[in-house]
A and B are shown apart, each in its own frame.
Chain A
Amino acid sequence: MLDPILDIRGLTKTYPGGLTALGGVDLQIRKGEIFALLGPNGAGKTTLIGAVCGLVRPTGGTIHAFGEDMGKHWRTLRARIGLVPQELSTDMFEPVWRSVSHSRGLFGLPPDPARIEAILKSLSLWDKRNVQIRALSGGMKRRVLIAKAMSHDPELLFLDEPTAGVDVELRRDMWKQISEMRERGTTIILTTHYIEEAEEMADRVGIIRAGKILMVDEKDAMMKRLGRTEALISLAAPLAAVPEVLAAYPVALIEEGRKLCYRGGDGAGQGKTDVAEVTKALTRAGIDYTAIDIHESSLEDIFVDLVEGREALAGGAA
């Protein structure tokens, strides 16, 4: 990748208790993109962000931002990076305006009421500017944290689980605002454990699990690669073997032949089409069924697949 805005090499973090949160992370972020770091709880997402933003001291590895070493030039580099934390934690007794202005000063910039006003308006916080943060709803509090992170006009913005605990309507709103920030030229790295969120917003997706980046790819390619449809068809009468007519599909009999399980597709609708074909084939073959349960594979399923796939590969190579 040419001139990545963020270049992480061999990053490790072992906490004093012996817990290894990051086990050698390599990651390059392109300027201007929205990158989604997707992983289950405890995968190391927050630690990774913390290591870049100065919250966590890495055990090993290097981080370069804007082409410079974070370890050496942290003072100038941190001024160009913003962070919206996962927890709603700030001085709750401060009014919104003062809290956001304070953040700008903390990052070494002179007061700029016009800029603060623009930020507050863009986040629909202007009417609440004199309200103490503790009096705001959860969604509004999160917007205040975003406003604080934007107050020094960072070129690189980290959003740690920006929609955690936010209702559906606000989540849509948040997605829109993040897209707007990108349009203004901010590079955005967000963490999430919702596939839909990564799918909705990201240009590229990285999957992290147990402190390791499993894969990084363009979102569409990733979804195609990972998306799986699972369908369980409850049969009226148990079967001894998979019917000949279904030989072309990834199906198997489970629960002593009482259910037919389909697992396949490409995350772009192929799975659902397949399931429709399977049911038609069953009807044609005169095999009756009583229920169909169909769902897209969860993040956990994907991780299991990924890890099993890796182990299979490793086994094959040995």
Chain B
Amino acid sequence: MSLFNARSAWTIYKQELMRAFRTAMQSILAPVLTTSLYFVVFGAAIGGRMQGGMDGVNYGAFIVPGLLLLTLLGESTSNASFGIYMPRFTGAIYELLSAPVGVAETLVGFVGAAATKSLILAAIILTTATFFVDYTIIHPVYALGFIILVSASFSLFGFILGIWADSFEKLSVVPMLILMPLTFLGGTFYSIQMLPEPWRTVAMANPVVYLVNGLRWTFYGSSDVSIGVSLGLTLAFLAACVALIAYIFRTGWRLRN
């Protein structure tokens, strides 16, 4: 047996995806409904009164990347965190720990499945959006790349969260109390150029600003921060998550104690 057990990784991946389809109502329908409501409330009702749109883009279309990101961050994080937390909670993780499976197989399986779910969701949301607003994607290849990058990064982040959490409360605290506010304050529904100083500068400390604007650039070719900075920071976040997970597996923290 080599350094990577492909069949084991594939087994975990398949199992995790199957779990998602078992709970399709919660993992697929719910986000689609939520996003549709955002479009109705923000896009149609409020957007209709926004003369001239935002940065020259119709307001309804302007919020598409932000809304997509809102869902990607939330769902990637919660899917991956639940995926690893549940077996820890029920004790079923014994099987994974006793299997000839290391950090690489575990990540490809759990994180790969969570990221795949996010990509499916992204496709559904972008399709749903066409029913409410007209939008374009100027750089489709960059957009796809960025969506994959964000899904993978936040699935990794969720995986860490699922290993760190020792209660259901902690599991939901991070998405609800940190991720959600950061996303809402990160320019999902507005351009941070609209903010008065000092809030515009303060907003630049919010990492989600770079994610939202990176994705917005791939859609409309313009944004509040440059795409290079956005990509660089997202890649750095991804690398940090991978490093942390490698460390967790080496020490066995929260897994082998």
Q: Is A55 a contact partner of B256 (Cβ separation < 8 A)?
A: yes
Q: What is the count of residue pairs linking A and B with beta-carbon distances less than 8 angstroms?
A: 79
CA distance A91 to B11 in the complex (A): 14
Q: Is B90 an interface residue (CB 8 A)?
A: yes
Q: Is B1 a contact partner of A108 (Cβ separation < 8 A)?
A: yes
Question: Which of B7, B87, B252 has the largest number of chain A CB atoms within 10 A?
Answer: B7
Q: Is A110 an interface residue (CB 8 A)?
A: yes
With contacts A105-B11, A107-B8, A108-B1 taken as known, whether A90 is within 8 angstroms of B92 at the C-beta atoms is yes
**CB proximity of A75 to chain B, nearest CB, Å:** 5
With contacts A16-B257, A78-B99, A93-B22 taken as known, whether A55 is within 8 angstroms of B94 at the C-beta atoms is yes
Q: Is A57 a contact partner of B95 (Cβ separation < 8 A)?
A: no
Residues in B whose Cβ lies below 8 Å from that of A79:
1, 99-100
Q: Is A106 a contact partner of B99 (Cβ separation < 8 A)?
A: yes
Q: Is B207 an interface residue (CB 8 A)?
A: no
Closest to B22 in A: A93
Closest to A84 in B: B94
Closest to B89 in A: A89
**CB proximity of A135 to chain B, nearest CB, Å:** 15
Q: Is A106 a contact partner of B256 (Cβ separation < 8 A)?
A: no
**CB proximity of B18 to chain A, nearest CB, Å:** 8
Interface string of B92-109 (1 = CB under 8 A from A): 101111111110000000
B81-124 contacts to A, CB under 8 A, are 87, 90-92, 94-102
CA distance A244 to B95 in the complex (A): 63
Q: Is B252 a contact partner of A57 (Cβ separation < 8 A)?
A: yes
**CB proximity of A179 to chain B, nearest CB, Å:** 24
CA distance A91 to B97 in the complex (A): 15
**CB proximity of B5 to chain A, nearest CB, Å:** 5
Residues in A whose Cβ lies below 8 Å from that of B5:
75, 108
Q: Is B135 an interface residue (CB 8 A)?
A: no
Residues in A whose Cβ lies below 8 Å from that of B22:
93
Q: Is A81 a contact partner of B98 (Cβ separation < 8 A)?
A: yes
Residues in B whose Cβ lies below 8 Å from that of A109:
7
With contacts A56-B256, A78-B99 taken as known, whether A106 is within 8 angstroms of B1 at the C-beta atoms is no
CA distance A53 to B97 in the complex (A): 8
Q: Is A83 an interface residue (CB 8 A)?
A: yes
CA distance A289 to B95 in the complex (A): 58
Across the interface, A105 reaches (CB within 8 A) one of B3, B10, B19, B90, namely B10
Closest to A154 in B: B98
Q: Is A85 a contact partner of B256 (Cβ separation < 8 A)?
A: no
SS of B interface (majority): helix
Q: Is A78 a contact partner of B94 (Cβ separation < 8 A)?
A: no
**CB proximity of A188 to chain B, nearest CB, Å:** 16
Q: Is B1 a contact partner of A103 (Cβ separation < 8 A)?
A: no
Q: Is B97 a contact partner of A54 (Cβ separation < 8 A)?
A: yes
**CB proximity of B96 to chain A, nearest CB, Å:** 7
Q: Is B8 a contact partner of A89 (Cβ separation < 8 A)?
A: no
Q: Is A56 a contact partner of B99 (Cβ separation < 8 A)?
A: no
**CB proximity of B93 to chain A, nearest CB, Å:** 8
Q: Is A105 a contact partner of B8 (Cβ separation < 8 A)?
A: yes
Q: Is A78 a contact partner of B98 (Cβ separation < 8 A)?
A: yes
Closest to B251 in A: A57
Q: Is B92 a contact partner of A89 (Cβ separation < 8 A)?
A: yes
With contacts A105-B10, A106-B11 taken as known, whether A53 is within 8 angstroms of B91 at the C-beta atoms is no
Across the interface, B102 reaches (CB within 8 A) one of A57, A75, A83, A85, namely A75
Question: Which of A15, A90, A93, A109 has the largest number of chain B CB atoms within 10 A?
Answer: A90
Residues in A whose Cβ lies below 8 Å from that of B90:
89-92
Q: Is A148 an interface residue (CB 8 A)?
A: yes
B179-204 contacts to A, CB under 8 A, are none
Interface string of A61-86 (1 = CB under 8 A from B): 00000000000001110110111010
Q: Is B92 a contact partner of A107 (Cβ separation < 8 A)?
A: no
Residues in A whose Cβ lies below 8 Å from that of B245:
none
Q: Is B87 a contact partner of A91 (Cβ separation < 8 A)?
A: yes
Q: Is B7 a contact partner of A108 (Cβ separation < 8 A)?
A: yes
Q: Is B11 a contact partner of A85 (Cβ separation < 8 A)?
A: no
Q: Is A57 a contact partner of B94 (Cβ separation < 8 A)?
A: no
Q: Is B12 an interface residue (CB 8 A)?
A: yes
Closest to B252 in A: A57
Residues in B whose Cβ lies below 8 Å from that of A54:
97-98, 256
Q: Is A308 an interface residue (CB 8 A)?
A: no
CA distance A81 to B10 in the complex (A): 21
Closest to A76 in B: B1
Interface string of B135-176 (1 = CB under 8 A from A): 000000000000000000000000000000000000000000
Q: Is B98 a contact partner of A83 (Cβ separation < 8 A)?
A: yes
List 11 contacting pairs A-B, 8 Å CB cutoff, sorted by A.
A53-B94, A53-B97, A74-B100, A79-B99, A85-B91, A103-B95, A106-B8, A106-B12, A106-B95, A106-B99, A110-B7
Binding site for A on B (CB under 8 A): 1, 3, 5, 7-8, 10-12, 14-15, 19, 22, 87, 90-92, 94-102, 252, 256-257
What 10 additional pairs, Cβ within 8 angstroms, besides A54-B256, A79-B100?
Answer: A53-B97, A55-B97, A56-B257, A57-B256, A76-B1, A89-B90, A105-B8, A105-B11, A108-B99, A110-B7
Closest 5 CB pairs of A and B: A89-B91, A105-B11, A53-B98, A79-B100, A57-B252
